[in-house]
């Protein structure tokens, strides 16, 4: 088998630091990868006026996967760095299924009292291309007393249906429970369509126990009874909020991983840690690489390398359990020391 072609967008802030460790760990598994380094992000913006070149999507389409570190720098307005890179990739490549696992890991101290690893194992499936992130809206009477800002959320049946169906399939492979986040009591258009599609797709999956939960109550339930959740399917915004909450409940942003997939298409899937560029600690070698390592682990699964994926999963779990750990997990190790330990565990 020829080498997998992986595009690397190390990006801004701590991105390059955590990506470097993920690459070493992937290489330690022995899987052959041809890496393409793409120097896109805020520096590129300052040099060229664009976060990435005009032919970026075409360049990426020639790859089997994308590994992304982080995007965002104080010197570039957020809406530019995100809409011209991260959201441009998710939407431009139509990577509609954003998958974010959240579980308590041995050795990663969580904030919830009395919850042990094994008790909490959730998989979030977030719609990744439309909804509240449609980018539609505007402002009228700008700067005047009557100024009004409008945000338009757009829910289309095909886009809702594909992500809901995907979530049901994940539930079938797991514990057979699907929870849908909604707010159709207050918002009677898009979220009602969402609920209807969930009910329709449920009819094709009689083995899955479904419940539809208001997003506010669901946030509360994640704190009160996280063990009752298996797969959660949510709109783009609800998925955004609930997965940050899930990352906090699992012991912090530093360990959370994500995959953005386009099942059935040949667009390259995108793997990235849930944490951002963390400019406050960038360049100091103290960022936690676990979120990026775990994202690379999801990439190996997706590339069809189950043995390598299993080896990397075991290595990450072992390092979480035994240390070394970075500061955010109560340790004193550097990014590279954690990376070294994972590489050694993979090689062992």
Q: Which stretch binds a second copy (CB under 8 A): 6-14, 116-124, 212-220, 285-293?
A: 212-220
| Catalytic residue chosen out of the listed positions 73, 133, 191, 328 | 133
Q: How far is CA 291 from the centre of its chain?
A: 9
Structure tokens at 116: 């042990």
Catalytic residue, from 183, 191, 230, 328: name it. Answer: 183
Tell me the three state secondary structure of residue 50.
Answer: coil
240 is known as an active-site residue: yes
Residues in contact with 78: Cβ distance below 8 Å, sequence separation at least 6, in sequence order: 72
Residues 166-195 that bind a second copy (CB under 8 A): 183-194
- Closer residue to a second copy, CB minimum distance, 202 or 241: 241
53 binds a second copy per the rule CB under 8 A: no
CA angle 296/283/83 to nearest 5° reads 60
Which of the listed partners (a second copy, ligand IPM, none) does 127 bind, with a CB threshold of 5 to 8 Å by partner kind?
A: none
244 is annotated as an active-site residue: yes
Residue 273, contacted partner among a second copy, ligand IPM, none, CB below 5-8 A by kind: none
**Cβ closest to a second copy, residue 1 vs residue 145:** 145
- Give 185 or 322: the residue with its C-beta nearer to a second copy: 185
Q: Which of 86, 65, 92, 55 is nearest to 275 (CA)?
A: 86
Positions 253 through 272 that interact with a second copy (CB under 8 A): 253
Q: In what order do the strands lie in the sheet with 231-234?
A: 33-37, 4-11, 65-70, 270-273, 257-261, 97-103, 121-127, 231-234, 177-182, 209-214
For residues 110 and 21, what is the distance between their CA atoms, to the nearest angstrom? 24
**Residue 121 appears among annotated catalytic residues:** no
In the residue annotation, 45 being an active-site residue is answered as no
Question: Do residues 13 and 277 touch, judged by C-beta distance below 8 A?
Answer: yes
Using rule CB under 6 A, residue 187 touches ligand IPM: no
**With CB under 8 A as the contact rule, which of the stretches 54-62, 108-116, 318-326, 337-345 interacts with a second copy?**
108-116
Contacted by 58, from a second copy, ligand IPM, none: CB < 5 to 8 Å by type: none
Q: Using CB under 6 A, pick the residue from 8, 82, 218, 270 that binds ligand IPM.
A: 82
186 lies in the binding site for ligand IPM (CB under 6 A): yes
Would you count residue 216 as binding ligand IPM (CB under 6 A)? yes
Q: Are the C-beta atoms of residues 104 and 116 closer than 8 Å to each other?
A: yes
Verify cis geometry, omega within 30 degrees of 0, for the bond prior to 324: yes
Write the CB contacts of 305 (distance below 8 Å, at least 6 apart in sequence).
4, 29, 31
Active-site annotation holds for 216? yes
For residue 82, give the DSSP letter.
I
- Which partner from the list a second copy, ligand IPM, none does 321 bind, CB cut-off 5 to 8 Å by kind? none
Please, which residue, 73 or 240, has the CB nearer to ligand IPM?
A: 240
Asked if 172 and 138 count as a contact pair (C-beta separation under 8 A), the reply is: no
| Whole-number Å distance between alpha carbons of 199 and 73 | 42
Options 240, 305, 328, 337; binder of ligand IPM; rule CB under 6 A = 240
Give the dihedral of Cα atoms 244, 250, 251, 254; nearest 10 deg.
-50
Residue 249 binding partner per list a second copy, ligand IPM, none, with a CB distance cut-off of 5 to 8 Å that depends on partner kind: a second copy
- List residues with catalytic annotation: 133, 183, 216, 240, 244
Q: Catalog residues that contact a second copy under the rule CB under 8 A.
A: 78-79, 82-83, 87, 110-114, 132-133, 135, 137-139, 141, 144-158, 183-194, 215-217, 219-221, 223-224, 237, 240-245, 247-249, 252-253
Q: Catalog residues that contact ligand IPM under the rule CB under 6 A.
A: 82, 86, 185-186, 216, 240
């Amino acid at each position: 088998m020829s080498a997998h072609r992986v595009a690397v967008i190390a990006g801004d802030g701590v991105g390059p630091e955590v990506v470097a460790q993920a690459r070493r760990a992937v290489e330690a598994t022995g899987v052959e990868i041809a890496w393409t380094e793409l120097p896109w992000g805020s520096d590129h913006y300052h040099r060229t006026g664009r976060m990435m070149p005009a032919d970026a999507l075409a360049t990426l389409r020639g790859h089997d996967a994308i590994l992304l570190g982080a995007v965002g720098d104080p010197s570039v307005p957020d809406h530019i760095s995100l809409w011209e890179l991260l959201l441009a990739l998710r939407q431009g490549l139509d990577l509609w299924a954003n998958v974010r696992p959240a579980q308590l890991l041995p050795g990663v101290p969580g904030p919830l009292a009395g919850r042990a690893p094994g008790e909490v194992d959730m998989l979030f499936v977030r719609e990744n291309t439309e909804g509240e992130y449609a980018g539609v809206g505007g402002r009228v009477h700008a700067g005047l007393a009557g100024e009004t800002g409008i945000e338009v959320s757009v829910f289309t049946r095909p886009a809702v249906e594909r992500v809901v169906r995907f979530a049901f399939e994940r539930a079938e492979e797991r514990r057979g429970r699907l929870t849908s986040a909604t707010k159709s009591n207050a918002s009677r258009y898009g979220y009602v369509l969402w609920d209807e599609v969930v009910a329709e797709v449920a009819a094709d999956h009689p083995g899955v126990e479904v419940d539809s939960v208001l997003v506010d109550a669901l946030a509360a339930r994640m704190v009160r009874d996280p063990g009752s959740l298996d797969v959660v399917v949510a709109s783009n915004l609800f998925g955004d909020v609930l997965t940050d909450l899930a990352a906090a409940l699992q012991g912090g942003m530093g360990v959370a991983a994500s995959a953005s997939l386009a099942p059935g298409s040949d667009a390259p899937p995108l793997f990235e840690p849930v944490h951002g560029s963390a400019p406050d600690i960038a360049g100091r070698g103290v960022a936690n690489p676990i979120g990026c390592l775990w994202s690379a682990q999801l990439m190996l699964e997706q590339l069809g390398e189950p043995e390598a994926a299993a080896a990397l999963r075991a290595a990450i779990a072992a390092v979480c359990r035994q240390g070394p750990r970075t500061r955010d997990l109560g340790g004193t190790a550097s990014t590279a020391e954690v990376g070294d330990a994972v590489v050694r565990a993979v090689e062992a």
